[in-house]
Structure 1
Amino acid sequence: MSTFPDYYKLLGVSKTATTDEIRQAYKKESLKTHPDRIVNATPAEKKAATERFQAVADAYYVLSDPTRRREYDSLYTSRGPQEKTPDPNASANFFSTFANMFGGRGTGPSATGATPADRPDADNMFADVFEDLLRPEVERHLPWWTWLGAVCGAGLGFIIANIPGLMVGAYAGNRLGAIRDAKGKSVAAVFSDLGGSQKAEILKALAAKVLGAAANSF
């Protein structure tokens, strides 16, 4: 008997969950299952973690889009309870059989990241959520270059034209520094360049924050 992936169980949500509830569930599950959280893992452990992380991404890709979710639900209701499973392997089989039904027809927040007959890119999908989770922290950064530019510009301006030069130089340096501040890499891009132990620590800290907040909300 063929098995059918139960994406609702994979994300830990009810069949009536809203899109926002599905996204919140994906944030939690992707942090819990991300393979980079496992330091010094054996190849088998890494493979199992990667498969589950991919299956969680599959679940979010399907359930976060109204059209894909509706088509999935029509298949879901036609399967008996004994056929449905949260086993990640069932998700791989599902996409190899049914992915063409999703091709080019998604209109929701996760409409990108997959092509007809392909599974979604789990890393790219996680990068979007990762940016969202860390955005409040990143946006608190101090504009070092903006202020350094203002100070340096003011100094040069004062040397050249005293007080008027100081004012013009400070403004010009401030604007140039702001441009430099705005050219930073995305958080996800920086994260991908880190070593394994650094990634693990960041993911564990984020998971503790997100899962802790979720536990406190109940």
Structure 2
Amino acid sequence: MASFPDYYGILNVPKNASTEDIRQAYKRESLKTHPDRLLNASNEEKKASTEKFQAVADAYYVLSDPQRRSEYDRLSSSRPSSERTNDPSASSNFFRMFSGMFTSGAGDGQSGTAQEQRPNADRVFGDVFEDLLRPEVERHLPVWSWLGSACGAGLGFITANVPGLVVGAYAGNRLGAIRDAKGKSVAAVFAELGARQKVEILHALALKVLGTLYT
């Protein structure tokens, strides 16, 4: 293989990062690269963002599991530093060649064949998305979307001023929709939203996690 993915570099973490460090890094990088944040993007821009988003999910999938991480580190140490790269396309090549060593991935939303053992980026993000919104979900009890928005905005402003207001409003609003949907997960409701609503929620979460809106 001509190039080898530097998953630590893709997540912007040191090689001695803890599992929690890796999870927090995934939250940051997935919000930066999520293709749904690009409302008016060209097909090429959307494709590039999707590839980056997938590579971030790949990195998290490999490094968040001790056994997969150990196998990855062993392979990485055997390759010259000149071959290691942050290029997302290298991750695709990596899974084509080495997915068979990740036999522990059967319970992580993977299919049985080696060719299909690459993680599903949307499913990986769905788990973390639930985690990002859990504080808002657990502390609000709205029934209707508008009430959730009002409660979320008020509490958000008290706890974190304007950024908190924005996050709370969108999270609370979506919580109302989730409750009305009778049992759907947060990620499932998000997937059904319109493009502009997805952009607004991702930007609100970026304020919460990154401390700033991203372009």
Do they superpose with TM above 0.5? yes
Q: Percent identity?
A: 67
Q: Separation in 2 of the partners of 1:47 and 1:182? A: 31
Any idea what the Cα deviations from partners look like across 1:128-177, whole Å, max 9, x if unmatched?
000000011112222559xxxxxxxxxxxxxxxxxxxxxxxxxxxxxxxx
Cα distance, 1:87–1:183 mapped onto 2, change above 3 Å: same
**Taking structure 1 as the reference length, what is the TM-score of the superposition?**
0.75
**Paired amino acid for 1:112:** D
Look up the match of 1:142.
141
Structure 1: gaps (5+ residues) = 146-179, 214-218
Q: Separation in 1 of the partners of 2:9 and 2:195? A: 29
- Between structure 1 and structure 2, the one with the greater Rg is 1
Any idea what the Cα deviations from partners look like across 1:61-82, whole Å, max 9, x if unmatched?
0000000000000011011111
**Paired amino acid for 2:92:** A
Q: Confirm or deny: 8 A CA contact 1:131 1:188 kept in the other structure.
A: yes
Any idea what the Cα deviations from partners look like across 1:63-108, whole Å, max 9, x if unmatched?
00000000000011011111000100000000000000102x259x
- How far residue 187 of structure 1 moved from its aligned partner, in angstroms, is 1.1
What secondary structure sits across from 1:139 in the alignment?
helix
Q: Separation in 1 of the partners of 2:32 and 2:142? A: 33
Q: Confirm or deny: 8 A CA contact 1:113 1:124 kept in the other structure.
A: yes
Which consecutive aligned stretches of 4+ in structure 1 deviate over 3 angstroms post-superposition? 180-184
Q: Separation in 2 of the partners of 1:192 and 1:181? A: 16
**Taking structure 2 as the reference length, what is the TM-score of the superposition?**
0.76
Q: Separation in 2 of the partners of 1:57 and 1:22? A: 11
Cα distance, 1:26–1:142 mapped onto 2, change above 3 Å: same
| Paired residues for 1:32-47 under 5 Å | 32-47=32-47
How many residue pairs are counted as aligned between the two chains? 175
- How far residue 208 of structure 1 moved from its aligned partner, in angstroms, is 1.5
Q: CA RMSD in A?
A: 2.0
Q: Confirm or deny: 8 A CA contact 1:143 1:181 kept in the other structure.
A: no
What secondary structure sits across from 2:119 in the alignment?
coil
Q: Tell whether 2:200 aligns with 1:201.
A: yes
